[in-house]
Amino acid sequence: MAGRGARNEASERVPLVNDDDDGDVGQPCRECPPEDQESIASTVSEVVESVGMGRFQVALFCAMGLSWMAESAKFGAVALVAPMVACEWNLPAVQESMLTSFAFIGAAIGCYAFGMVADVLGRKSTYWCVSLLGVIGSLGAAGSPTTEWLGFCFFLLGLVVGGINVGPVYLIEYMPIAQRGRWGAFLAMPWALGMVGGAGIAWFAVPWAGWRAYLAMLNIPYVGVFALLPFFPESAHFLVVAGKPLKAMAALKRMAKINRVKLGSTVVLLAEEGGESTDDASLCLLVKQGLGGLARLLSRTLWWTTLTSVSMAVAEIFTYNSLLLLNTQIHAEAVGTCESRHFRLSEQAYVDMMIVSSADVIGNLLGIAMIEWIGRKWSLTTQFIGSAVALVPLLIAPHIEPTVFLFMSRAVVLASYSILVVYIPELYSTGVRTQALGLAVLMGSVASLLTPFVAQGLLQQHGLRSALGVICTVLVAGGVSALCSPRETIGEALQDATESRRKLSWSPIQD
């Protein structure tokens, strides 16, 4: 690198992979070019681009999608199970609201905590923890003997809903630029299918086996998750920034092998200055690097990006959760009955919930269509405003049938989430990428702590118009934030570092 001393320049050359037939990956390479030989520098993004889209990315999408499908069904189940438990255990309305609040508190903590862990320990290992915790939480809730235990398990489910946001980052870090937007947005489709499927499973399971069996059945998609995850390497972007170029190159080589693509004879990776090994998983390291990442997010160069990202996430998550809970409350109150401590929903109630939940499918298709057409910023702006416009008829005439308008608003706001999980990580470098998304979702989840009091409290005490007035105000604020976002990221490569000084590492690859 120009401007550095000869000693530093030589010390930064790190042989990555020895792929001789009689050698082991990671051993010192016997075919390293001489120091004066010029090498072409490539980033991880450029290597991913040269390999292209293939079976590796599709399989990784399936693994992430199955967990998203399971957790969306569980998050919808929290709103559905709460009135059932309140009826069966004779709980007051305040305790019913607190049960759903536990899930939102867990989501608020989980999104940032797991985002911080993923930036320190890696995407894959973090996703393993999230997936295991998801199964434990729902099985624990299914066997809950007391309200306190159920609240704790709902808290665990919330942690997992926050933690699965590591998935989009893991996915897009292996996606070529041309496919990154659409496939990242497409990850919201399993979430949408999980909502519809969860309502369908409830229709079948709750009348027959009760809410406990219903919660346990929602773990079925994790069979596929645990079968697929062992086949994927850690994110190469993360490994390079963490100072592990040997493992990064092995990960890229594995991706290329699965996609049946041969890499060139020489690949040179650029790693962030000061990358550290993450073998030390101590709490002190997590806290130290987590605080360092937060300081970077709030630094002079990133504070405006962080502010607009957080504002958009607050608007989307608060609105989506409010509409989710509002839809469940409207139909539960209209056709739900509590007799002899047994809560019953009519078949029409389940049908209506499935219809409104299917809005997520349409919203995801809208996000996929718009993200590469008009870009991230304008897509988000139009979607926030469009979601508010869809609720205006209910503000004018709150006594009309709300299903269609809730359907339209929910579809449009879900489209914005499918774009946000791509756009926010694209705005940041690898070292703080998941933490940035986690911080945005954290603040959205904190705001969502108010959704039970908006969708349940305001609805019961002041009617539908007051609840929708709050939601529309938040949506307009989200649209303004999207319009003020610092830059458009369509067509940009993911950045491994924001600093100007980087380490140079190289590896010969022979396939």
Report phi then psi at 270, rounded to 5: -105, 125
Count the helices and strands in the chain (H runs, E runs): 23, 4
CB 81 within 8 A of CB 426: no
Which residue, 354, 329, 315, 323, is CA-closest to 192?
354
Q: Which residues of the chain are under the pLDDT cut of 50?
A: 1-39, 266, 272-278, 334, 499-511
Classify residue 299 by its DSSP letter. S
Beta-bridge partners for 506: 15, 268
Q: In sequence order, what E strands does 274-365 have?
A: 337-339, 342-344
**For residue 446, what pLDDT is reported?**
83
**For residue 497, what pLDDT is reported?**
65
**For residue 404, what pLDDT is reported?**
82
CB atoms within 10 A of CB 188: 29
Q: Which residues neighbour 95 within 8 Å (Cβ) at sequence distance 6 or greater? A: 86, 147
How far apart CA 504 and CA 393 sit, in angstroms, is 59
In Å, how far from its chain's centre is CA 501? 30
Q: What are the boundaries of each domain within the chain?
A: 50-232+282-483
CB 151 within 8 A of CB 98: yes
Which residue, 317, 329, 416, is CA-closest to 107?
317
How far apart CA 356 and CA 401 sit, in angstroms, is 13
How far apart CA 71 and CA 220 sit, in angstroms, is 11
Q: Does domain 50-232+282-483 have CATH number 1.20.1250.20?
A: yes
What confidence tens digit (pLDDT) does each residue in 72-116 have? 999 888 888 888 898 888 888 888 888 888 988 898 899 899 999
CB 390 within 8 A of CB 405: yes
**For residue 38, what pLDDT is reported?**
46
**For residue 22, what pLDDT is reported?**
39
- Identify residue 457 by its one-letter amino acid code: G
**For residue 271, what pLDDT is reported?**
53
- Length reported for the chain: 511
pTM recorded for the entire structure: 0.81
What confidence tens digit (pLDDT) does each residue in 261-316 have? 887 654 556 554 444 444 555 667 667 777 788 889 999 999 999 999 999 999 99
Report phi then psi at 220, rounded to 5: -55, -45
